[in-house]
Amino acid sequence: MDDGLYNYTYYQSLIDIWLDMRDIRNKIAHDYVPEKMAEMYQLIRGEFYSELNLLNQKIAQIVLE
């Protein structure tokens, strides 16, 4: 997405992952089914962690520049 305000290509971020993270956060607040919680936990530890780690690296790079 590059509309002049946001440049997700530059940061190699996927907006879909961020939307999924928001949805999971909302489900965690309202869903207490153990099977669903385990599934959400796996998403957080896997795909979401990778995206947040990438963001952390980019922020550190910006701070150092």
Please report, for the chain, how many H helices and E strands are present, in that order: 4, 0
Q: Which residue has the tokens 């869903």?
A: 31
Q: Which residue has the tokens 């309202």?
A: 30
d(CA 31, CA 52): 23
Residue 41: DSSP 8-state? H
Convert the pLDDT of each residue in 36-56 to its tens digit: 778 888 888 888 888 889 889
Which pTM was predicted?
0.53
Convert the pLDDT of each residue in 3-19 to its tens digit: 444 454 455 667 888 88
Q: Which amino acid is at 28?
A: I
Contact 23, 29 (CB under 8 A): no
pLDDT at 11: 54
